[in-house]
Amino acid sequence: MKSIDTIEGIARKTLHEELVERLRDIILEGALDVGAKVPERQLCERLGVSRTPMREALKVLAADKLVTLIPNRGAVVRGLTPEDIDELFPVIGALEALAGELACKRINGEELDAITGMHEDMVDHYRRRRLGEYFQRNQQIHESIVKASGNGVLQEQYRALSAPLRRARYVANLSDERWAQAVSEHEAMLEALTARDGARLAGILKSHLSNKHEAVLRRLEAEAAPAR
């Protein structure tokens, strides 16, 4: 048996992990336009890192479908395609529906209070038309429900798909009509979670993701339509 002296300390976040997170946020928050070349040298200077960790981090973002690596040109910000959306949303909808069912069985009072507080903040941001802050709370609510499921495998799969999902949700919420609908759906989600009604919450989450799926596709089609 191992002794206590052989137990390793808790690993701190590495430079690589932190850099990947920073770059992911820069892209998802719209600091770089779709199709724009990632300014590696400028970002290295701003973030205080060398080119080697920067390029390793960009490889991770390429795997997340956030950038495209082009030989001799570097990384270019990648846009979502209809094919991406059609593949992503049914899987995310199934994962979130299952997470909702499990969360209703396992969530504790502290977790529910935290999600309720997030929801109230989100609604306040909606009323004040603060899209960026609203989006952050929205994402936290979905992530908290997944976490409340208590299922490690589910959480791991969800995290693997979270980067393109974040961008897709942001695009969908740019429509005023869709934004209002999303808030109404979140109200219903909180009611079902509070009532511990797993079947109802699962259905709401699947419908919520389906509606976002359609909204994102409409947005992409509008952006791709030629100007008249």
Domain ranges of the chain: 15-77, 82-224
Q: Which residues contact 38 (CB under 8 A, 6 or more apart)?
A: 23, 32, 58, 67, 74, 75, 76, 77
Q: In this structure, what token pair is assigned to residue 190?
A: 């909180």
- Whole-number pLDDT of residue 120: 98
Q: Which CATH class is domain 82-224?
A: mainly alpha
Query: What would be the CATH architecture of the domain defined by 15-77?
Result: Orthogonal Bundle (1.10)
| pLDDT tens per residue, range 122-159 | 999 999 999 888 988 999 999 999 999 999 999 999 98
What sign has the CA pseudo-torsion 187, 189, 190, 191?
positive
| pLDDT tens per residue, range 68-116 | 999 988 999 988 888 888 988 999 999 999 999 999 999 999 999 999 9
pTM of the model: 0.76
pLDDT bin (cut points 50, 70, 90) of residue 169 is low
Q: Which residue has the tokens 């695009």?
A: 171
